[in-house]
Structure 1
Amino acid sequence: MTVLAAAVALFGSLFFALGAALQQFEAADSAKPGLLALLKKPRWLIGGVSITVGGGLHIVALGLGPLTVVQPMGVASLLFALPIAAGLHGRRPSRRELAAAATVAIGLIGLVLLVPAHDGPTYLSPQGAATLLAVAGIAAVLLWAGAKVASPAGRAALLATSAGVLYGATATLMRVLVDGAWNWWYLLALPVPALLALVLLQRAYAVGHFGVSFASLQIADPLTAVAFGALLLGEPLPQGIAPIAAAALTAVGTVALARTTPLEART
């Protein structure tokens, strides 16, 4: 069952990577990368369906095998996404680009595997939920503002990180909903950060540095969820030098991606 779980998760990563690459291709090729304009593009919608399928397969994989096996397979989407995106833009990814992506993936896998398991009940008070949304919103706005004055690669990274923070907040709120300890307004609030994250991510994709934006999203989303889990849900954080080394590796890989991934945007 563990081997099957890994295979399903890996297949899910392929769908997720394909969907992200399709959506980035349309966003980068659009004069107006707003969500309403992109919803009219069939290829962008197909990308959304592919991402949904990938997420569904990831959930199935979690039901078949342990998190320590499934999560690393999910990170593989970065290594799938770069060649797919490059092919859509009519080029081949360079060895340096793939090496940088592999560095990010290794560091992110290390971070994911180092997070201690938490088997206790998940409860978030209304005040905690309000804090969650407020902190995520403020962080997203600050990152968005910073993107206004950044270089193209920095803009892609900051916008995608902003989206990742909001997705991480959404994931935390979803966990509370799944565990049953929630108020009715949690359900109403849930789509807000998710929709804002989707809009910001398309803005990041439109910049053109797909490798940078996708890697930043892959890093920010789980780390935000871990941080909120520790601050608001009382979950443990990883200890020691290993998580610091893993974080440094992801940072080095992301910087390398910014230097090696070409700008692929509408001209």
Structure 2
Amino acid sequence: MVAVSLVLAVGAAGCNAASSVLQRKANRDQPPGREFGPGLLLDLLRHPQWLLGGLAMIVSFLLQAAALDQGALSAVEPVLVLELPMTFVLASIVFSHRLSLRDWVASALMAGGLALFIAVLAPHGGATASMSTWTAVTATAATAAGVAALILAGHLARGQARAALFGLAAGSGFGLTASLIKVSVTRLTDDGIGAAFQTWETYGFVLTGLISVVLIQAALHAGTLVAAQPGITLLDPLVSLLWGTVVLGETTRVGPILSLAVFAAASIVGGVLLLVRSSSAHLTGIADAGSTT
């Protein structure tokens, strides 16, 4: 089951990467000085590439839900950081640009760091069924408050700071969405489809997922990939890891071996920073700002 969940998570990361590239390409077709808002979203909904990106996002969601049904939240969500190197590979194809050695080294750092991180922590278990409603509501409210604070800060900021803050909000929102999906699919598996539709988490993840999608569009439109992507990539697994271990009761290894997990996490962060600052991000066009307001 662990292997199946990881394979499904890799598939979800690939679909997310396809969605990012296609929707970034659609965003680039919009006037540079245009403000983000309902009018822009309506125009994007009429853009074929944006719609294809939306379809890829739906497939990613289904694969992610299947992965969460098979494995621990703390193990599945970190795999989604592979979306970033996959985004660069797909963007190099779409924008006809060859990746540099630095890009491949950064991708290897991320992939190797991820493999070591999961192997060291070995997340497992969890007791979704025994989690109280109060615990779930409190954790959801706390996470949502953090997302709201980032959104507010983003509205007050300008330029690349706005893109970075919206990216952090989107990543946190997707981490919350994944956590609620985990609760919902577990109840679906244990108690049937009727029970899943009777739990508030099912409707909660739909709402938080939609909000997170809008936040990604806001981040892509507000600034560069260099500013927006680190938050999107890193906050999702971080929020999910906290939910998995603190809220859902998933367990990981403890002791001195955790120093290896810290090293692995540093490798992942280093790979992310190398990629988003790569010349490929600019030469492919995926780092161009949609707006600098």
TM-score category (smaller protein): 0.7 to 0.9
Whole-Å separation in 1 of the counterparts to 2:151 and 2:204: 21
SS at match of 1:135: helix
The TM-score, its normalising length taken from structure 1, stands at 0.78
Equivalent in the alignment of 2:171: 164
Q: TM-score w.r.t. structure 2 length?
A: 0.72
Residue-by-residue CA offset, 1:164-216 (whole Å, 9 max, x unaligned): 21111111112212222876333332322111111111122224533664454
**Distance in 2, Cα, partners of 1:198 & 1:249:** 27
Change (3 A) 1:201 1:112: farther
Once the two structures are TM-superposed, the CA of residue 162 in structure 1 deviates from its matched residue by: 1.5
Residue deviations 1:142-178, cap 9 Å, x none?
33344454762x5444322221211111111122122
Q: Which moved more, 1:85-94 or 1:42-51?
A: 85-94
Contact kept in structure 1, 2:224 and 2:290, CA below 8 Å:
no
**Conserved in 2, the CA contact under 8 Å of 1:163 and 1:200?**
yes
Distance 1:33 1:222, change over 3 A: same
- Write the letter of the residue equivalent to 1:203: A
1:166–1:196 contact (8 Å) kept in structure 2:
yes
Determine if contact 2:22/2:53 at 8 Å carries over to the other structure: yes
Total equivalences in the alignment = 266
Identify unmatched segments of 5+ residues in structure 2. Answer: 188-194
- 1:81 matched residue in structure 2: 87
* Distance (whole Å) between structure 2 residues aligned to residue 61 and residue 15 of structure 1: 14
Counterpart in the other structure of 2:266: 248
> Shift in Å at residue 44 of structure 1?
0.7
The equivalent residue for 2:288 is 264
Q: Residue 190 of structure 2 corresponds to which residue in structure 1?
A: none
Within the candidate set 119, 125, 140, 1:119 is matched to 125
Give the aligned CA root-mean-square deviation in angstroms.
3.8
Equivalence map 1:22-101=2 (5 Å): 22-30=22-30, 31-34=34-37, 35-57=41-63, 75-89=81-95, 91-101=97-107
Q: Deviations over 1:108-152 (max 9, x none)?
A: 343344333333431432222222222222221333344454762
- Offset at 1:75? 4.7
1:200 matches 2:224: no
Deviates more, 1:89-98 or 1:58-67: 58-67
Q: Tell me the equivalent position of 2:233.
A: 218
Question: Which amino acid in the other structure matches residue 265 of structure 1?
Answer: A
Q: Distance in 1 between matches of 2:80 and 2:171?
A: 15
The verdict on how the C-alpha distance between 1:245 and 1:10 changes in structure 2, with shifts beyond 3 A counting, is: closer
CA contact (8 A) 1:124 1:176 kept: no
Q: Please say if residues 72 and 109 of structure 1, whose CA atoms lie closer than 8 Å, have aligned partners that are also in contact.
A: no
Amino acid of the structure 1 residue aligned with 2:266: A
1: CA distance, partners of 2:238 / 2:61: 18
Secondary structure, aligned partner of 2:125: coil
**Uncovered stretches (5+) of structure 1, i.e. residues with no partner:** none
User: What's the % identity of the aligned pairs?
Assistant: 29
Q: Which amino acid aligns with 2:20?
A: A
Instruction: Measure, in 2, the Cα distance between the counterparts of 1:23 and 1:208.
Output: 14
SS of corresponding position for 2:203: helix
Distance 2:146 2:236 in 1: 13
Answer yes or no: is the 8 Å Cα contact 1:78–1:105 preserved in 2.
no
Partner AA of 2:105 in structure 1: A
Does the 8 Å CA contact 1:104/1:215 hold for their aligned counterparts?
no
In 2, are the aligned partners of 1:108 and 1:219 still within 8 Å (CA)?
Answer: no
Which amino acid is 1:252 matched to? G
- Bigger shift: residues 4-13 or 225-234: 4-13
- Paired residues of 2:10 and 2:82 also in contact (CA < 8 A): yes
